[in-house]
Structure 1
Amino acid sequence: MIVPIEVENAEDYVALTKKLESESDFLLYEAGERPVDGEKMKSMIRAFHHQPNSTILVAIHNGELVGHVMGMGGSAKRNKHVAHVVTGVLKEYHGRGIATELFTHLENWAREQEIHRLELTVMVHNFAALRLYEKVGFQIEGKKKEVLKVDGQWVDEYIMAKLLY
């Protein structure tokens, strides 16, 4: 089940975020790097609820948060129609179509909010994510060279986007 996040989900969302960061080498933050707690998360969720061009959708399985997709809309008049996307699904739930379903719900939400462009970045060697993003209609627009340093190695990222109308 995919639903918009509620303030009551804050503690579970913190736990999901921490678990995702601990099991993936493809996220911006490493395990334990980001100081996040329930109160900060509640504040962020409330802020998102007051921004019509931003959302957090969560995937729930047997009462547990197992994935999410976040669309963060631009804050200026000139870019309020753009949403930057961040997503993740717990490893044990990979291959079940949850990420695809999250993106379907995100796109439906974006169209309702008159978001014209969804965009994201992805490490060039994250082949599973690249396949997913291309499957749901994102296209590579460019490459950011040596933008991240992971385990002492420079890593490039693709810039990907999907235009909705």
Structure 2
Amino acid sequence: MNDIDIVPIAEQHIDGFHQALDTVARERRYLTFLEAPPLESTRAFVRDMIDNGHSQFVAIADGAVAGWCDIRRHAQPIHAHGGALGMGILPAFRGKGLGERLIRTTIEDAQSKGLVRIELNVHADNARAIRLYERVGFVREGIGKDFVCIDGRYLDVISMAIVRR
């Protein structure tokens, strides 16, 4: 798994990021999307992340995006010390330590830019992700009951955060 590079996202990664996002979204299990937004919306999102210095990294395997992790600083001044984390890994690359490499790189970058609080929401049935988040220091802060409904199936969501001052 060490032959996969973790790099800051760049313009040339946008199409691959969009494809990876769509693949994970269409699994209908992990993300708040059921499919990726249109490519132009994804392009605008990534350009905004780059232009505003938000932390976003991609895992590159054989020239293709195999996963991503991003932390977007909150816009409101009273919340600007924190940001929200999102990530995904293509199915073939799961369970091999790539998620931990990605999340640690992204958290370190965000904290170097002054973020104190990083938060996320995870579906309560996503045990693998919850273990990863706890392993890198996230703690559970609350549960949203029936927070998500996918194909008529209601899921709780666990809110987690890591705070370092």
Tell me whether the two structures share a fold, i.e. TM-score over 0.5. yes
2:102 aligned with 1:98: no
Normalising to structure 1: TM-score of the pair?
0.91
* Aligned sequence identity (%): 26
8 Å Cα contact 1:145-1:156 kept in structure 2: yes
Residue number in structure 2 paired with 1:36: 38
- Number of corresponding residues: 161
Where 2:77 maps in the other structure, the secondary structure is: coil
- Aligned match for 2:7, one of 3, 8, 22: 3
Q: Give the stretch that moved more between structures: 131-140 or 42-51.
A: 42-51
Output the CA distance in 1 between the equivalents of 2:8 and 2:67: 12
Aligned equivalent of 1:72? 72
Q: Is residue 56–residue 70 contact of structure 2 (8 Å, CA) maintained in 1?
A: yes
Runs of 4+ in 1 over 6 A off after TM superposition: none
State how far apart, in whole Å, the 1-side matches of 2:99 and 2:37 are: 26
SS at match of 1:35: coil
Paired position in structure 2 for 1:27:
31
**Is the Cα–Cα contact under 8 Å of residues 23 and 91 in structure 1 kept in the other structure?**
no
Match of 2:164 in 1: 164
Deviation at 1:24, TM superposition (A): 4.6
TM-score (norm 2): 0.91
> How far apart, in 2, do the equivalents of 1:106 and 1:51 lie?
15
Q: Which residue in the other structure is 1:116 paired with? A: 116
Distance 1:28 1:42 in 2: 18
Q: Deviations over 1:87-117 (max 9, x none)?
A: 1101110111110001110121012101001
